[in-house]
């Protein structure tokens, strides 16, 4: 079984790239984040024509999540239980479904902006709700995998230059402690291998030639139940999806997909 996650950074703008990924990489399940469209504007026809069922939720702003599956979508759930609201709104940042016998969560963790912004406290509250959700989900009988854009780099080695991140979000001790809390309740991180560089980064800014210079971050993460993690045979970052295409084709997302192969 092949499961992948990708912050697509506007699913309508990148529908052509999405379909190309589905038809070449052929994931059984693909988790998407940052749809940037309302639920009804998702490109259902194009994705379903490629052989995938869709569960999606978006509000047309900068968030939105989806699960695409060619092995079925059962028992869908929207939002984390107890998910905190931002400015009075529970944002579309979490979606779950059972696909081919595996419980899958697609997550888009809040950015946090700056450490003195209320959004940072919201991010930590959101991650605490995720920890509580993980406890409940680990009690289910199915193997569990939680994938998505966590907006946290787990270690200093997961950013291109930690000296540039002093007093910045994504690398603070409380954010990293929230990741450790996921492991404390029983999740295992599945770390992808690097195919062409010594760092399996998943995000590169559009500015300052960050991608060609590999000035990136590893913030798109995969956490799994022990049974799922033990059955992983490979995991990698698909840098090809981050490369610019031919003239006239849609630009890439600033994230690359993470692909996980598992034999259950």
pLDDT digits (tens, 9 = 90+) for 132-141: 999 999 999 9
Q: How confident is the model at residue 167 (pLDDT cuts 50, 70, 90)?
A: confident
Q: How confident is the model at residue 198 (pLDDT cuts 50, 70, 90)?
A: confident
Cα radius of gyration (the chain): 17
The answer on pLDDT for 35 being more than 80 is yes
CATH number, domain with residue 207: 3.60.10.10
The answer on pLDDT for 196 being more than 80 is no
Domain with 87, as residue range(s), is 2-262
Token pair for 166: 């002093």
Name the percent of the chain lying above pLDDT 70: 99
Whole-angstrom distance, CA of residue 107 vs CA of residue 147: 6
The answer on pLDDT for 247 being more than 90 is no
pTM confidence score: 0.97
**Average confidence (pLDDT) over 190-215:** 90
Q: How confident is the model at residue 166 (pLDDT cuts 50, 70, 90)?
A: confident
Instruction: Domain count for the chain, please give it.
Output: 1
- pLDDT tens for each residue of 108-126: 999 999 999 999 999 999 9
The answer on pLDDT for 64 being more than 90 is yes
Residues 6+ apart with CB under 8 A from 203: 7, 149, 216, 217, 218, 219, 220, 254, 255, 256
The answer on pLDDT for 237 being more than 80 is yes
* C-alpha torsion 121→126→130→132, nearest 10: 70
């Amino acid at each position: 079984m092949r499961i992948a996650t990708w912050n697509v950074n506007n699913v309508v703008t990148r529908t052509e790239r999405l379909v190309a990924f589905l038809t070449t990489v052929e994931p059984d399940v693909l988790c998407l984040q940052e749809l940037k469209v309302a639920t009804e504007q998702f490109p259902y026809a194009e994705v379903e024509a490629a052989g995938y069922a869709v569960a999606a939720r978006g509000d047309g702003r900068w968030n939105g999540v989806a699960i695409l599956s060619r092995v079925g979508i059962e028992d869908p759930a929207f939002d984390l239980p107890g998910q905190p609201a931002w400015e009075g709104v529970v944002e579309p940042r979490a979606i779950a479904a059972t696909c081919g016998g595996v419980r899958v969560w697609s997550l888009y963790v809040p950015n946090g902006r700056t450490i003195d912004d209320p959004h940072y406290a919201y991010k930590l509250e959101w991650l605490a709700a995720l920890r509580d959700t993980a406890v409940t989900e680990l009690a289910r009988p199915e193997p569990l995998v939680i994938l998505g854009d966590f907006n946290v780099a787990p270690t200093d080695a997961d950013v291109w230059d930690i000296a540039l991140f002093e007093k910045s979000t994504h690398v603070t001790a409380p954010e990293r402690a929230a990741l450790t809390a996921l492991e404390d309740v029983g999740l295992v991180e599945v770390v992808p291998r690097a195919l062409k560089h010594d760092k399996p980064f998943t995000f590169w800014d559009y500015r300052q030639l960050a991608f060609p210079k590999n000035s990136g971050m590893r913030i798109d993460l995969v956490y799994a139940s022990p049974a799922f993690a033990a059955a992983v045979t490979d995991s990698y970052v698909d840098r090809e999806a981050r490369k610019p295409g031919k003239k006239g084709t849609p630009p890439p997302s600033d994230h690359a997909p993470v692909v996980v192969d598992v034999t259950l």
